[in-house]
Amino acid sequence: MISIEDFLKIDLRVAEIKHAEPHPNADKLLILKIDAGDGMEGRQIVAGIRSTYQPEELVGKKIVIVNNLAPATLRGVESQGMLLAAKDGSQVVILTTEKDIKPGSKIQ
């Protein structure tokens, strides 16, 4: 169990996928260029969803990300956040918003 204080440290935000492409060095990863409403040009996240999603079907989707996660390098590519997804066995489904809302909107 974690405390509510620890949970509140996690900054969950809405982001829009602007571009998606296969990771050149990993069969399970996609590189997603996102707009998280923070004005950071070229922000990207690396996600292990390549077996479930084609890059072209992700462009324009609004997703939920962990906005304040420290950057990590995955197979040579920097990831500046993490998308949230649900997994049931081999099925992976990204979390999206029910209605249209602007990038950067805070999840509460």
Does any domain span residue 3? no
Instruction: List, in sequence order, every residue forming a beta bridge with 83; answer none if it has no partner.
Output: 65
pLDDT the model gives residue 44: 97
In a domain, 107, yes or no: no
User: What single letter denotes the amino acid at residue 14?
Assistant: V
Structural domain count of the chain: 1
Integer-rounded Cα Rg, in Å, for the chain is 14
Profile the chain (108 residues) by mean pLDDT over runs of 10 residues: 95 97 95 94 94 96 97 95 95 95 96
Long-range contacts from 66-73, C-beta under 8 angstroms, 24+ separation: 66/10, 66/11, 66/12, 67/11, 67/12, 67/13, 67/15, 67/36, 67/38, 68/9, 68/10, 68/11
Residue 57 included in any domain: yes
